[in-house]
Amino acid sequence: MTDSGTYGSAFDSSLETLAIDVVRGLAMDAPHAARSGHQGTAMALAPLAHVLWTRILTYDAADPTWPDRDRFILSAGHASILLYSMLYLTGHGLTLDDIRAFRQWGSATPGHPEVGHTAGVEVTTGPLGQGLANGVGMAIAERNLRARFGSELTDHHTFVICGDGDLAEGISHEAASLAGHQGLGRLVVVYDDNHVTIDGPTELALSDDAPARFRAYGWHVIDLGDAAEDLDAMEAAVRDAMAVTDRPSLIVLRSHIGHPSPDVDSSAVHGYSLTDEGIAETKRRMGLPEDEPFWVPDQVLGQYRAAGRRGADSRSSWEERLAAFSGDRASWDAAQAGRGVEGWEERLPTWAAGEAVATRKASNACLQALLDVVPGLIGGGADLTGNTGTTIRDHGVQGPDCPEGRQVYFGVREHAMGAICNGMALHGGMLPVNGTFLVFSDYMRGAVRLAALSSARTTFVWSHDSVGVGEDGPTHQPVEHAAALRAMPGIPVFRPADANETAAAWRYIVGADGPVALLLTRQDVPVLAGSTDHDAVARGAYVLADPDGEPDVVLIGTGSEVAVALDAAATLTAAGHSVRVVSMPCTELFAEQADGYRASVLPAGIPTVSVEAGVTFGWARWADTSIGIDRFGTSAPGEQAMTGLGITPAAVVAAAESLLGT
């Protein structure tokens, strides 16, 4: 979108050096006031940030969520003060007091950028490599929306700043490889090659040839050399990268961390090394007032604010194009909202009690049924697309030859897959789905945690959810994973009992405001009577089967073990007991319900037994005794593994009878 004829320098050239030095002053002062933070990278990259925010980026500070803005991601999130300084200066709503409150309780300027917390922050960064992978997701989202709805509504670039730490992390290899394969021409990454890590010179642990590595991935590479102070050279390189339409671009920029301080090029200035004397000396070198922290002269602020308003005409023109849009406006609006078009719920399939369906297959039936009525849906699996039920048929395979395609083949790249989907979700217009085996959620936990922290509307489908996976053995049989995921705030974990509960989970997903996890069976499980109440499923737990009178024991099951609980209930009933069976597909949502509802499902004083084919950790909150697997699994056919590890109706009966004293 950016046009060099329209943009170029927004500043009086005589002020540019002063403006950049003001940013460097803030980069020193804010961490010093906090006695914590990272000064050096922000100081070194102040010229680059100035070029991006005043010459390159298309944005309107008055509307930071305008859908067709350029996206900017600071993957090197420890340099957050650089981003906060630019957001303050360009008028995104931060004040100088917010900069003074850097890293303090309740401030709008936390230690690392957090999306949804600070206007203008696109993604939550800090864990290295995540932002780079998010950028890949944003570039996929932009291309897909442009292909489906037209360039009059979607026509922008994604820019990322990353550092040595980002490229050292394994996720960067996964993400960069897929980006090159996808030919994402509107993705521009600037690599801050400053040769410094916390431990010392990067050469202590890193000797990669980054340009050669990215060329091998299929990227366009510009090795700009030692040009971090050359504004025109940086602008020219970025514009050259933007002109490349068939490949992502990497600009390698040699910078000097902490420039122009006395600690330049030191590992100390990577963090917080410049205090009173060092800051004063650096300000003397730049000609700034030494005794006035957070100094921002009016003429600098005025020109930055003008730069922040320069995109207003572009935004207004876009709004006019949207109003005149002759395409499918209902689908556009639904995609942007991450919801379905009117009546979408009616497309969800149902199954008759007595059928036998693996929940992974039921999930795929739901996904396929929703594609035409939930236009944001897009995704796939990490080389396990068919296995996990994340196959998307009849909607094209995402790639340079089919940019409108909604099936994404991520390859064996679980960690990047999760972060890429987070980028798609946070871009807007996308409701991404990804899939792998539950045991491999370990490989992607960093991205899952950031999805939860960011409220990114990513759906994580994890199939093969128990030792029922069978012969692959303990390396592929999850036992601790459901409990570990439930311990994470901000992401409800559904383990549906059958196909109909799976459909209810999908209904919840489309209406959710954050990420959702689906834990699904490999093996067929029976469709149960009474499992079709979507509202009950969305409350996390409900009474599935009840005796005529008051129960004297309650059995709780999740996933495939709800059927085990029902079989145990039949045996106990035949022995003269009154048994209630509760399906608890989502413990987190049940915990959020009102006390009265929870008591109506699990009455106080009635003995309760839970059964789940996983560790018993966490079940003490809901049950007096728990049947589970507090060890690793075993290689055997699924039914034998379940039986041998004690996930049987007989084990549940014995536990209930023990509680009842019979």
pLDDT of residue 13: 78
Task: Give 11's pLDDT tier (boundaries 50, 70, 90).
Answer: confident
pLDDT tens string 603-632: 999 999 999 999 999 999 999 999 999 999
Percent of the chain with pLDDT over 70: 98
Task: Give 3's pLDDT tier (boundaries 50, 70, 90).
Answer: very low
pLDDT of residue 2: 39
pLDDT of residue 459: 98
Q: Is 471 a catalytic residue?
A: no
pLDDT of residue 662: 84
Work out the average pLDDT over 563-585: 98
Work out the average pLDDT over 174-200: 97
Residue 635 and residue 477: Cα distance in Å, rounded? 9
Q: Above 50 in pLDDT, residue 5?
A: no
Contacts 24+ apart (CB under 8 A), 614-623: 614/466, 614/478, 614/479, 614/480, 614/481, 614/482, 614/483, 615/479, 615/480, 615/483, 617/480, 617/483, 618/483, 618/486, 618/487, 618/587, 621/587, 621/591, 622/556, 622/584, 622/587, 622/590, 623/556
pLDDT tens string 487-506: 999 999 999 999 999 999 99
pLDDT tens string 404-437: 999 999 999 999 999 999 999 999 999 999 999 9
Q: C-alpha distances in angstroms, 492 versus 414, 532, 537, 541?
A: 20, 20, 12, 13
Work out the average pLDDT over 344-360: 98
Q: Above 60 in pLDDT, residue 209?
A: yes
Task: Give 85's pLDDT tier (boundaries 50, 70, 90).
Answer: very high
pLDDT of residue 9: 64
Q: Above 50 in pLDDT, residue 68?
A: yes
pLDDT of residue 12: 80
Q: C-alpha distances in angstroms, 421 versus 18, 334, 365?
A: 40, 18, 21
Q: Which of 122, 174, 414, 588 is catalytic?
A: 414
Q: Above 60 in pLDDT, residue 649?
A: yes
Residue 651 and residue 561: Cα distance in Å, rounded? 12
Residues 619, 518, 344, 533, CA torsion sign: negative
What torsion do the CA atoms of 132, 138, 139, 141 make, to the nearest 10 degrees? 150
- Mean pLDDT for all residues in the chain: 97
Work out the average pLDDT over 173-193: 98
Work out the average pLDDT over 191-216: 95
Task: Give 21's pLDDT tier (boundaries 50, 70, 90).
Answer: very high
pLDDT tens string 440-462: 999 999 999 999 999 999 999 99
DSSP classification of residue 417: H
Q: Above 50 in pLDDT, residue 128?
A: yes
Work out the average pLDDT over 82-102: 98
Q: Above 70 in pLDDT, residue 81?
A: yes
Q: Above 60 in pLDDT, residue 105?
A: yes
Choose among 502, 506, 481, 518: nearest CA to 612. Answer: 481
Distance from the Cα of residue 178 to its chain's centroid: 17
pLDDT tens string 240-284: 999 999 999 999 999 999 999 999 999 999 999 999 999 999 999
pLDDT tens string 304-338: 999 999 999 999 999 999 999 999 999 999 999 99
Report the amino acid identity of residue 338. Answer: G
Q: Count each helix (H run) and each strand (E run) in the chain, helices first.
A: 26, 17
Q: Above 90 in pLDDT, residue 6?
A: no
Q: Above 90 in pLDDT, residue 56?
A: yes
Q: Above 60 in pLDDT, residue 4?
A: no
Structural domains in the chain, CATH included, are 13-315 (3.40.50.970), 337-526 (3.40.50.970), 539-660 (3.40.50.920)
Choose among 157, 77, 90: nearest CA to 117. Answer: 77
pTM (2 decimals)? 0.97
